[in-house]
Amino acid sequence: MTPQEQRVAQWIRTEIRALRAYHVPDASGLVKLDAMENPYTWPSDLVARWLETLREVSLNRYPDAAAGRLKDHLRSAFNIPDDMDVVLGNGSDELIQMLAMAVAAPQRIILAPEPGFVMYRMIATFVGMRYIGVPLRQADFALDMPAMRKALHEHRPALTFLAYPNNPTGNLFAEDDVREIIAAASGIVVIDEAYAAFAERSCMSLLREYDNLLVMRTVSKMGLAGLRLGLLVGAPAWLREVDKIRLPYNINVLTQASAEFALQNRQMLDQQTADICRDRAQLYDALSQLPGVVAFRSQANFILFRVPSGRADAIFADLRDNGVLIKNMNGAQDLLSDCLRVTVGRPEENRRFVEALRAAL
C-alpha cells in the first residue's frame, strides 16, 4: 500500500470502502430500456415555450428556498391533502437520505421488503444504520406477512420503506397488508410511490389515518427524470424535523422553473403516461407469448420477467450486443434468479426489444 492508500484505509469507514458505487452503464447507441425513463420528448412548440420561461430565471440569485410556487403546483398535481406538509428533495433519493439522517443512531434499523429499491440499503450504510431486508413471497412477490410481523416485532425499525408499486417486481402490495404494517410499526413507515402515475392505487388518502405514515413521490418516472425532483408528504410534526436536515436551496432555479412549466402542461405528461400503460399491456402479452418466458404483471412502467434457468446473463449480453439495453436482475437476490427487467419504451422500441429477445432465446 502507498502511504496515501494507508491513509484512505485508516480514515474512510470500512463499510464505505466495501461498497461498490452505484453503477450506471453506458447506453450510447443503444435502445435504452434499463432505467424506467419516460421515452417521449416534448413537441417543439412546447420546448420553445419552456425555453422562453427559462429566460426569466436569474442564475445569479439563489433559488426560492421554500420553492413556494412549485409546491403549490405539486399540491394540485398530486392531490396532496391541505393539512399535510411537503418537503422537496433533489430526487426522492435525497429525501430517503434526509429521513435516514434524521433518525440515524448506532444500532437503529431501516427495514424494507426484498427484492426492493437498492437505495434503502445503500443509504442505511451511508449513515451508519443497520439494514434488514425481509424476503417477499416467492410465488407472487406479495408481502410475507408472518415474516414482516416477526421482523417488525424483533427489530423495531426506525424507518420502514414500502415501494408501492414495488421496484423491481412491479406489483402493488395488498392494501390490508400495508395497513397492518403501518399499524404494527413503532417507527416511521414511508410509502414510496415513485410509480404512482402508472398504478391503480395510492396511499395518499391514508395519511390522515396513521400518525406514523409518510408518502413519497417523484416526477422522475412520469417524464422529468432529468430535473431531479422528489417530494415527501406528511404531517407537519414529522416534516418540520426532516426539513431541518434539508440543505438550503437544494432545488435549483432551473428545476423549479422547469417543473412549474411542465406541471402547467400536465395533459401532455398524462397522455404520455396513458400511452405507456397501454403499451405495457401489449408488451406483457408479447413477453408472455414467448416460449420459456414468464412475465410478471406490473403496475409500473417496467416489466420483470424470468427466462429459462441459467440463461439470463447470456440473454442480457445478447440483447446488448444487438443494441438493446435492459437491466439484468439475475444474481442480485435469490428471488430474482433468471430475472430481467425491461422499461416500457416507445412502441417501435418495444417491438425491437421483443424481436431481439426472441432471437436471443
Ligand X SMILES: *Cc1c(COP(=O)(O)O)cnc(C)c1O
Give the shortest CB-119-to-ligand X separation in angstroms: 7
Q: Between 71 and 352, whose beta carbon lies closer to ligand X?
A: 71
Please report which helix (H) or strand (E) contains residue 130, including its range: strand 130-135
Q: Between 170 and 187, whose beta carbon lies closer to ligand X?
A: 170
Residue 64: burial class (beta carbons within 10 Å; 0-12, 13-18, 19+): middle
Largest CA distance in the chain: 59
Give the shortest CB-256-to-ligand X separation in angstroms: 15
Give the shortest CB-251-to-ligand X separation in angstroms: 12
Q: Between 38 and 167, whose beta carbon lies closer to ligand X?
A: 167
Give the separation between CA 262 and CA 74, rounded to whole angstroms.
11
Applying CB under 6 A, the residues found at the interface with ligand X are: 36, 91-93, 117, 163, 167, 192, 194, 218, 220, 225, 230
* One-letter amino acid for residue 328 of the chain: N
Phi/psi of residue 267, each to 5°? -60, -35
Q: Between 125 and 322, whose beta carbon lies closer to ligand X?
A: 125
Give the shortest CB-172-to-ligand X separation in angstroms: 12
Phi/psi of residue 169, each to 5°? -90, -25
For β-strands 324-325 and 31-32, DSSP reports them as: parallel
- Residue sitting closest to ligand X (CB): 91
Give the separation between CA 149 and CA 296, rounded to whole angstroms.
26
Q: Between 192 and 279, whose beta carbon lies closer to ligand X?
A: 192
Q: Between 93 and 349, whose beta carbon lies closer to ligand X?
A: 93
Give the separation between CA 347 and CA 261, rounded to whole angstroms.
27
DSSP-based three-state secondary structure for 155? helix
Q: Between 91 and 157, whose beta carbon lies closer to ligand X?
A: 91
Give the separation between CA 36 and CA 349, rounded to whole angstroms.
14
170, β-bridge pairs: none
Give the shortest CB-109-to-ligand X separation in angstroms: 19
Give the shortest CB-250-to-ligand X separation in angstroms: 12
Give the shortest CB-220-to-ligand X separation in angstroms: 3
8 Å CB contact between 230 and 89? yes
Give the separation between CA 158 and CA 236, rounded to whole angstroms.
18
